[in-house]
Structure 1
Amino acid sequence: MEPEFADLIPLFVGEVRGRLERLAELAGRAKEDAGAAAEARRELHTLKGAGRMLRLVPFAELCHAAEGILQGTRRDAAALLTRVTDALAAMVDTVALGGDPEADPALLAALAGGPPAAASAPATTPTPAPPHAPTVAPASGEVRIEAARVEALAEGATRLRILARGSGRIVTRLHELTRLADASLREAQPQQALAALAAALRGVEAEADATQTRLQRAAEQQQEALLALQVQPLQGLLIALARHARELARTLGREVEVELSGGETRLDRRITRDLEEALVHIVRNAVDHGIETPEARAAMGKPHAGMLRIAAVAAGGRVRLTITDDGAGIEPADVVEAAVKAGRIERSRAAALGRDEALRLLFLPGLSTRGEVTEVSGRGIGLDAVAAAVTHAGVDRLRRDDVVERDGRTLAPLGGRLVPFAPLAHLLGEEPAPVQLLLQGVHAGVALAVAVDAVERSEEVLLWPGGRALAGNPLFDGIALLASGEPVGVLSPQVLAQGGNGRRLVAAASAARARRLRVLLVDDSLVTREMERRLLEDAGFDVTTAADGQEGFAALAEKRFDCLVTDVEMPGVDGYALTKQVRAVPALAQLPVVVVSTHDRPEERLKGLEAGADAYLAKQGLNAAELVGLVRRLAGA
């Protein structure tokens, strides 16, 4: 890794791991779903661009080779894509540790068209597994936090500072009243002065009560926001477990297909951390003890590849993690015999054990049904660690309560306390359905519980300012476009938590900055976006960034820019489509547009210019002086 890029490594690692999680999910659907295959190709293209920007040649070459298999009709494309995802993840781990990633010649050969069977067949002579299983995720003191959560914490801190100043005013007034009381006692007829003092004290009391209530609510909201940072989706953990299962199977000369579900389920990261080792042990046991060799499976009429299923399900305030395999299973008699030989139970007592009691012996320390010790198993270290980890995690600490009425308000339980609750239909002025669902959650520092008629689906959207359509309606934060293109109103969680009576604080406008050339930079790769932003800002430009074409076009509607610099391949609205949209708006028709793309083929350059771009640059070997000079020249500086 070149020293000049050292400070970008955390950004690269964070972005790529997130994209690899998505790529692993798409790999399972790419064979049957053309849309998933297309999205996987876009992800690989973006990853390739990020790798090239940091001059990680093996990483970029592997991404490029993998793009090709998704454009063809290879039957083994999905299996190869899974291997590519595992290899890219290993490369990222190497980069995170300060090393240089190396290419896998066998994998590159398979991607280039080598015999699929040879590429995917297990080694004839299994190599010993490493003594210690690789960690599910590299140890790190860093945690990825969504920008919205950071903004929520900042808003909460601002609220607390405002309320603290209010408390200071109350203290000042109390000091004044103390001096007034001292003066009243020295008057000849203090009754009138004392009456005025009592009235003033009542005013201070009312203000103190109101401030204390607001302060308590703000502190609780801030605490909820901080606790919410501990919750993360399980997708990354499940993908890492699947990767470990495949690596172990290859080491043991076995074949395994891994099916994942429930990756969107969220769990406290502390519990996840406590359970990681236990889950790795279970996966190792499933592959080593459960799934048979391909020859043994064929003799039993089973598919050559064993099936390992890892699922996460959230229900009733709990998360259930299930790991199952279609292997031979556990023979209770073997477990009992191992326990007797290990001296953990007397043979006379063992004979009276039922099936469930016999299987519970597996959780005893040092017990193994293996007749020999290998690098993978045989020492009896595994399921006892699983039992200890599950006990330590404390999975039964959550509970559910009924919605209650208190002091004229309807409240619902959330996070161990009661929070404001309201049916959404009432807030919208409609009649609620006879049976409703209760949604509970924490968003932007606000705890809330809302009853809805139904939940159609979950969809990630881009929030747009409401404009005139929603002006004056505090119930909405803005509008969003669904994947279908349909606009919908986005409810304000702050208002929902306050029963629809609150309004969000409007931040003061920032001081106007000195006039500089304004550049809008659009790229879906965080690493590429950050590198180009630095180049442009170092040259003195005022740079605004956007993560895709839709977000970029929205920025153009909100602010005037002197130049647009855009990537090509992005989800949703790509660079070509964005350029065409810009040219179709009279007010933007003269805006200079620079396309910066991974592609450097003549036909791609022509396509960009036909869309309306003024210039086309290749990301590979991007020259800072060339980009800066081009922007200055086009912007008329």
Structure 2
Amino acid sequence: MTAMDSEFADLLPLFVAEARDRLVTLAALTARLAHEPGAVVELRRELHTLKGASRMLSLTAIATLCHAAEELLQGGSPPGALLTRVVDALAAMVDEVAAGNEPQDDAGLLAELAPGRPAEPPAAVSADTAAVTATTTPAASTSTPAPARSATDEALDEAADHALALRIRARGMARFATRLEELAALAERGVNDAGPAQVLAVLIASLRREALALARSQRALAWAADAELDALLALQMQPLRPFFLSLARHARTLARELGKEVEVAVAGEATTLDRRIVTQLEEAVLHVVRNAVDHGIEPPAERQAAGKPRGGTVRLEAAPCGSRVRLTIADDGAGIDSEAVVLAAVERGLLPKDAHPTPEEALQLLLRPGFSTRTAVSPISGRGVGLDVVAAVANRLGGELSLTSRRGYGTTVTLEVPAARRGERIFLARVGPVRFGIPAAAVQRLEPLAAAHIQRQNGRCVAVREGETLPFLPLAETFGLEPAARQMLLIGSSAGEPLAVAVDSVEGEEEVLVRPTSVLGDGAGVVDGLAILASGEPVAVLSPRALAPGTQRRVERLAMPPPARRRLRVLLVEDSFVTREMERRLLEDAGFEVVGAASAPEALEALAQTSVDCVVTDIEMPEMDGLEFTRRLRADPAWAVLPVVVVSTRSRREDRLAALQAGADAYFVKQGLDALELVAMVRRLCGR
């Protein structure tokens, strides 16, 4: 089967775009090779990555030429003119793919590249040897350390988190010192009431001195922690200019592939954002940009017929909003057909036939997992990824997504996220035996709950307070717990939606560092993450947006199905976008949730932010290869037993053994990859 006939033929335009980017890099590296011999390492890696993507798409001629050039580079630096011919030949082959033709081998060039060299060992292997499972203890690592920049970034992240935790603990000490002072004062009053007691009075005086000393120490500690934290967080901030330039380049490239005319307007690129937040947003925002170009902007002829300019506009804008940053991705395209959204929802059984949601409620359906009005897969915007994923990313970061659209005029997606990872103030609320955290920013006031406050209107429960009618949510009922006889009402709002939540009691307010988690199963939809209190106790922090009985919940009342069992989450580490997208499809089609990473450092950062059940990784990657990445995982107690599956173009026995010795649990070769074998292995390693 040729690449043009394969099930991944729709990925060929993406391959062409990525390959052309890599060819630009190859040309630049070839020019550097004469005066910078070290460039040969980068050349080999770029060729290896292009070879892997070509093999996955059965583009044998490109893969063969890449392999021949890669083998030649193993022996040192070949003549620059020969490498230039290789780059030109690869560019011609990529042009053939873009034209819908199957590229052919350049026999003459192959002969010049590898005279007398043995052919590459066959990459395709039999099913019984396609995967090798480790049965021995991983060998110790003796490789060189990761690049300094990566190590510095990791140390900076860790230091910032430690500084924030230190500040939170210091404030906990302050509360303890205050309680000691109050206790000393209370004891002193008791002594005075009871009459002279000299010994006890001395002890009380000593206690007061210790409390004052503790308070002074705490203030000094808190000041130092605040200063350190502010300095570290300042280093974490970066302007959005490089991110926006990358998005603009992607948008223009995709527009050319689709035959559309698109101008990208950028504003607010000097706005700064925590680089860790930028990293987590990259894939989600790129998906929104793809949607704008692919789904939103119409072809030139269609725009002219509608009285619009031939060229469409995609606008990328960033603006600071207090301690948050608002990112806007807007297009002046066709907009979203809300009637088509409702019709698709009815056809899928998500809405009853007699449902009549408002246009705003219809748009919220697009945030349902996997929901789409498209009947065919788009080669640009991908498959299995939707606005629900983008909204989930924003929610995990403590942010929000809003969507507006006007038919014929365009669509605007707005993401509002924290500017930096800082401590968050939460109310500690108790429901039955369980304590939850509720972000203080979402709560405006607290008051006792009386039965008279709760009424039923239009088939739903509401809380009526001071002439205001608020959607009402009893947390005990939500989590299947028994409510107390007397309860408290937390009144506030989230994303512009009113909020009234009933809890048994509110036990105080505390500053915490909220960390995302996936170990909460079905509850993860209403939980932002876990936090460690100053006392050391863990507490789940609820998501106000998910709890708010607002627009999204009104749509859900129109007969939404119950949440499904939590899917296994796989971290997919692959520097080639096309290869990563292909492997993502294979895994998502099998029911896995996939978190993508373009490099090992990015994968380590993702692991620090979210829990996964398995890792699938390439070997040849920039900054840190897959073997060193696997050793890092095995050396960390938190990930020592995390299943790791290697998928590589390397098919030699020594490559397999090296991966298993590094700590991998299984090894697959990309060419001839059996999707069923890979899926079965991942499930087996995850215990399902």
Same fold by TM-score greater than 0.5: no
TM range (shorter): 0.3 to 0.5
Which TM-score applies when normalising by structure 2? 0.38
Q: Compare relative contact order (CA 8 Å, sep 6+) and give the higher one, 1 or 2.
A: 2
Higher Rg: 1
Which TM-score applies when normalising by structure 1? 0.41
